[in-house]
Chains A and B, each alone.
Chain A
Amino acid sequence: EDQVTQSPEALRLQEGESSSLNCSYTVSGLRGLFWYRQDPGKGPEFLFTLYSAGEEKEKERLKATLTKKESFLHITAPKPEDSATYLCAVRPLSGTYKYIFGTGTRLKVLA
């Protein structure tokens, strides 16, 4: 069964303290892996798409990487405004069109 697991569930960092969020996935084939940021009371905001192992994408303090079994979202020198829930989703290669989401990592960055 296709599955996405994110860890940790919650993470508290001091401002400037770099860390990584993990997204492990089990699918028969990967069409794409996606990272989203969600603020309380809002819909998820698209961050990155990764398609193949070894691929990396960067945006400001965020960098996403992909291997054959997992993806990491690295946060460098985070600021309080980076506090949010980060969601990972995969789209399998199979004939379905659905996206499978992880339950997210709640990040809190303290000033």
Chain B
Amino acid sequence: KAGVTQTPRYLIKTRGQQVTLSCSPISGHRSVSWYQQTPGQGLQFLFEYFSETQRNKGNFPGRFSGRQFSNSRSEMNVSTLELGDSALYLCASSSRGQSYNEQFFGPGTRLTVL
């Protein structure tokens, strides 16, 4: 079974620009969560989608948004980039069932804002 895939793997942007990151979950998984990982803060929860609906959102400004498509693929968008948005953005998927709480992570997208 293929794992979680994220594209692109690396991005370099400048302040003020916007960026869209993509995540394809494991086949059959309907829940997708996004995290921001930085050396100082660790993994910070951004939001979770299930069946195209956002179920929960972390404490991030409105510049961070996301969506999920009918095939469970998800995108997150960051507008008006700031230097502090430089981070590893991780996507994780999980499924219903006995082990539905387990999350499986993708390799991440490394975003650098100059």
Which residues in A have some Cβ–Cβ distance to B below 8 Å? 31-32, 34, 36, 41-46, 49, 87, 89, 91, 96-104
**Chain B interface size range:** 20 to 34
* B95 sits at the interface (CB 8 A): no
Which residues in B have some Cβ–Cβ distance to A below 8 Å? 4, 31, 33, 35, 41-45, 48, 50, 55-56, 58, 90, 92, 99, 101-108
CB–CB B58/A98 < 8 A: yes
**Which residue, of A34, A43, A45, has the highest number of chain B Cβ atoms within 10 A?**
A43
Main secondary structure on B side of the interface with A: strand
Known: A42-B107, A97-B55, A98-B56. A34 touches B45 (CB 8 A): no
Known: A42-B108, A43-B90. A97 touches B56 (CB 8 A): yes
- Bound state CA distance, A100 and B41, in angstroms? 12
B31 — nearest CB in chain A belongs to which residue? A97
